[in-house]
Structure 1
Amino acid sequence: MDTRAVMAWVERYEQAWRDDDVAGVGDLFTEDAHYLRSPYDPPLDGLDAIRGFWSDPTPFTMTAEPVAVAGRDAVVRVEVAYGGDEPQEYRDLWILRFADDGRVQHFEEWAYWPDKPYTAAPD
């Protein structure tokens, strides 16, 4: 993978998410993909699990920029702002591992948002 190919995948991801395109998930992820919404949560395993999570009609804006691309692995910095009744913004790092066909085998999200503590609270 190169930076251009990674960012083209991110653009397709954003468009599928924006269009609420559950069927398009198979164009983005391998059949056996692992999708971690947090590095500490169990992964969504396989396309059916990812499709079950995918649908979210909340309007949003998104920007993304590559941080690193090496072989099949990439890290992308993403900023998302949701509109609607309860606005929310996130700054994420996406860790991506691509299969040979250009779809993602492993997706891991490290999300942060305003007022989220950056360390564990003392006991």
Structure 2
Amino acid sequence: MSVPPPGPGNGPPSQDRPHDAVASALQRLPRTLSGARRRFLAVNGTAFLLTASLSATAGELFATRPVGTLPLGVVLGTLQLAVLLFTSWWYDRTLRRHADPLVGLIRRHAELVGTAPPQPAPAEALGRRR
């Protein structure tokens, strides 16, 4: 009977050989965070740019009063605030559902092997992806 060679997932976890689930979590976490951040910024950036471009090109449009006594600028500003609040809630929910379980798995593994959890890379290193 032969013993399988040590490798990921074989034997107890160690700092050199994390379990497959931990290795997978370490790979998925940055994609999860950047995807959620990208969607948050895209939605809010689009709403902001739309409002800013409308106010710059059609300023008199913002003074019209289509709904009772409220000018259109106030209505659009309120809608932009609602979009910001909704996407903030959505971003937090996404991280709680997808990123927090991965972080918990990494922390449990770090406690098991007795090491500190991996720290995020400096911002300069993140900008130099290939």
TM-score (norm 2): 0.21
Structure 1 or 2, whichever has the larger Rg, is 2
Higher relative contact order (CA 8 A, sep 6+): 2
Query: TM-score of the superposition, structure 1-length normalised?
Result: 0.23
The structure with more helix, counted as a fraction of residues: 2
- Which is strand-richer, 1 or 2? 1
